[in-house]
Chain A
Amino acid sequence: MWIWQAFTGLLLLVLLALHMIFNHFVVEGGLRTYRDVVAYLSHPLVFAWEIALLIVVTAHALMGVRAILLDLGIRPATDRWLKRGLTLLALGIIGYGMWLSWLIRSRGL
């Protein structure tokens, strides 16, 4: 678990840095308007980048949540359910994110 947390964390350094810079710091006014977002996401590389970020950040965040919950003294049996629950939650989040990105992207194609 530790190694995956570290690995996704290091990936995030790159994924998130570029996400922040491209979405906020090189944009006039700091935030994209609706039209800008649609145009931005229609670039296939950007789309792939954001999807990768979505997956990695969700994994990193939920592994972190589990680590904290484990430190509240969760029993192994509870942990099994916790793992299943968090996996489902992760799939839900990633599904939602993909659906949303695809929807926005399709409006620009």
Chain B
Amino acid sequence: MTTEPRWKRARGWMDLRGRREGGLAFLLMRLTGIGLVIYLFLHLYVLRLLAQGPEAWDAFIATAKSPLFLMLDGILILGLLYHAFNGVRVTLLGLGIGVPLQARLFWGVMVLTLLLTGVAVYAIFALTG
């Protein structure tokens, strides 16, 4: 149908020029989704340390409490919360619920995500002292 190669055509969903909230929400959903899949693999891989016994795991726990690691946790939670809240938004919209409100819902998702991420980051640093 087009002369463009498939992969080039597929870049279209990354092109934010002229797009509005819905398109941005979709792109962020994609990016957080990809990030979360990568994290899932990492997470399961790291958990193998549990099989190796207490030393291996507790050594990991110690490094996991470094500020850099905790920062990464913060980013993870940011992506996770966005994916979760926007997932609810997209499910509703996909069933035709709240379509006229979709842009406002997106900003609601953003506010909720940032707010809860803030709380979570605070909790993380408070818990690990």
Contacts and interface: CB of A to CB of B under 8 A. Distances in A.
A109 interface: no
B30 A6 contact: no
Given A72-B7, A73-B9, A13 B57 contact: no
Contact of B51 (A10, A61, A71, A100): A100
Nearest to B34: A68
Interface in A56-109: 57-58, 61, 64-65, 68, 71-73, 93, 96-97, 100, 103-104
Summarize A's interface: helix, strand, loop or mixed.
Answer: helix
B50 A100 contact: yes
Contact of B61 (A31, A96, A100, A104): A31
Contacts, number: 80
Contacts of A93: 44
Contacts of A65: 37
B87 interface: yes
B113 to A, nearest CB: 14
B33 A10 contact: no
A37 B57 contact: yes
A100 B47 contact: yes
Given A13-B88, A34-B53, 7 more contacts: A25-B120, A25-B127, A30-B127, A72-B10, A73-B10, A100-B51, A103-B51
